[in-house]
Amino acid sequence: MLHYLRHVHGTGPSYRIVTLTAFADVAALAAAQDRVEHGDLAPLAARMDELRHSVTTKTVRPLPWSVDALDLAAVPTADVDHRAAVFMEDTVWPDQGKIAEYIERSGAHYARWMASDEHDETELLRIEAAYESVYGGGIRNEIILWQRVTRLDWMPGLLIMEVPEHLKAPGTWMHDALQLRDQWESKLLRSTRWSPLP
């Protein structure tokens, strides 16, 4: 497990937990699933089911322009105590037949701008990773953008004011991405202090 997060109250459904778990490959994923369904993790899975109403899972892989490979051996497995962090999870559903173009253009446009000096001056978010669902994820494939909120003191402004016009003008990603998708969903997620990664 990489992250254990809570959906921030007031920003969507309450009492939702989000976890991100990484596997080295499909074989490791299959082995873990077998342990949960029939092996040593089955009793724990049954106990967890008593504590929740439902569970939804997605299998995703990093986009080509996303982060470098994660060193799974370096992920802490012992007790940790991190300062809580807030993440924005943006999920988009590119128009039919546009997913490959969306992946390419989001890397060439949005990710490049996010890494630029221009963005550094007003940075509210920093891209941590970007994923594509590989075994479903709704009616159409999904793209999931995982961003760390770097300026918590700016969050009230985000909640009470419209996005500035210059960030929605032609040539910006908020504008140009409308050629490839017409909606997205954002969630604010807060990590726990004991989440393996900060």
Residue 52 falls within a domain, yes or no?
A: no
Does 158 reside within a domain?
yes
The verdict on residue 92 lying in a domain is: yes
Q: Are 23 and 36 in contact (CB under 8 A)?
A: no
Q: Which residues of 124-136 are buried (b: 16+ CB within 10 A; e: fewer)?
A: bbebbbbbbbeee
138 in a domain, yes or no? Answer: yes
Residue 48 lies in a domain: no
Dist. CA 71–CA 66, nearest whole Å? 15
**Could you tell me the residue range of the domain that residue 113 belongs to?**
59-191
Low-confidence ranges of the chain (pLDDT < 50): 137
Angle at CA 146, nearest 5°, toward 109 and 34? 130
What's the pLDDT tens digit per position in 86-103? 999 999 999 988 999 999
Full-model pTM: 0.85
Identify the CATH number of the domain in which residue 155 sits: 3.30.70.100
